[in-house]
């Protein structure tokens, strides 16, 4: 339930909540990491491929691209230089850039679509006078929303481009959500967050938002609650809005 007597703005994560693109990100991550992991296996390390969905959901989902690379490499005990110009070696930055190229190629080839139930919920909220914002760690957020025809659903957007420009840390830090609430003119205590990633739910809780709703499309209800979600739904369309007149 989203109580409109307590909520005046709702912030939506994009990939996996608004658009059906989480699987595209996951596949791009695997295509970026597996050749690198295979090359290291030749140096005496066993080849352990990037696991779907486990590594994606636990280590990179919802995070800024370079933060995701760092988290995954750390989980495998791998240390790489980060400088993209580091001569003759793979770097954290080069892996992040490869993932970006792979994702954009898939997006251009296959496009993106918005979840109809989420789009319907956003329209109902806007008709009731609730402000909405799209919040994503991705620098490709605008391209994703545009490809899905979802740009008009939001009053504001805060994404990876804004994070780089403003120096905002990525999720699980709440900075992206707090900036979105600021742009909507809504205090966190009267703002709801919808997130499907563990890092995003943690960010919403750390930001002091009135309502943090986990969206569970992959069987992680318990973990979303453990990260602090106030409620978990299988689909945003399951949410009811209370306090709508007429």
Active site residues: 13, 15
Q: Please list the residues that pair with 13 across neighbouring strands.
A: 135
DSSP string, 186-234: --GGGEEEEE-SHHHHHHHHHTT-SEEEEE-SSS-HHHHHHTT-SEEES
Count of other CB atoms within 10 angstroms of residue 32 = 23
Distance CA 198, CA 237 (A): 20
Contacts of 244 (CB under 8 A, 6+ apart): 4, 124, 128
Tell me the CA distances in angstroms from 226 to 65, 120, 153, 177, 185, one per residue in order: 24, 28, 30, 20, 30
Residue whose C-alpha is closest to residue 191's, from 201, 180, 176: 180
Q: How far is it, in rounded angstroms, from Cα 199 to Cα 223?
A: 11
Residue 158's DSSP bridge partners are 135
Query: What are the tokens at 43?
Result: 């140096």
């Amino acid at each position: 339930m989203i109580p409109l007597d307590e909520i005046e703005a709702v912030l939506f994560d994009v990939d996996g909540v608004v658009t059906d693109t989480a699987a595209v990100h996951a596949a791009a991550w695997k295509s970026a990491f597996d050749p690198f992991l295979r090359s290291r296996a030749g140096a005496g390390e066993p080849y352990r491929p990037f696991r779907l969905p486990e590594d994606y959901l636990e280590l990179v989902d919802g995070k800024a691209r370079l933060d995701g690379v760092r988290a995954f490499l750390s989980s495998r005990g791998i240390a790489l230089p980060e400088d993209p110009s580091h001569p003759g070696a793979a770097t954290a930055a080069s892996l992040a850039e490869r993932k970006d190229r792979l994702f954009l190629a898939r997006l251009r080839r296959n496009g993106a679509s918005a979840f109809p139930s989420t789009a319907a919920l956003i329209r109902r909220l806007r008709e009731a006078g609730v402000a909405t914002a799209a919040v994503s760690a991705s620098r490709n957020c605008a391209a994703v929303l545009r490809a899905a025809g979802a740009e008009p659903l939001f009053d504001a957007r805060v994404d990876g481009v804004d994070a780089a420009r403003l120096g905002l840390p990525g999720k699980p830090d709440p900075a992206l959500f707090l900036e979105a609430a600021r742009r909507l003119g809504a205090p966190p205590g009267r703002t709801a967050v919808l997130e499907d990633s563990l890092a995003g739910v943690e960010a919403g809780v750390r930001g002091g938002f009135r309502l943090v709703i986990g969206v569970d499309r992959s069987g992680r209800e318990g973990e979303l609650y453990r990260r602090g979600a106030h409620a978990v739904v299988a689909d945003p369309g399951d949410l009811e809005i209370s306090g709508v007149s007429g």
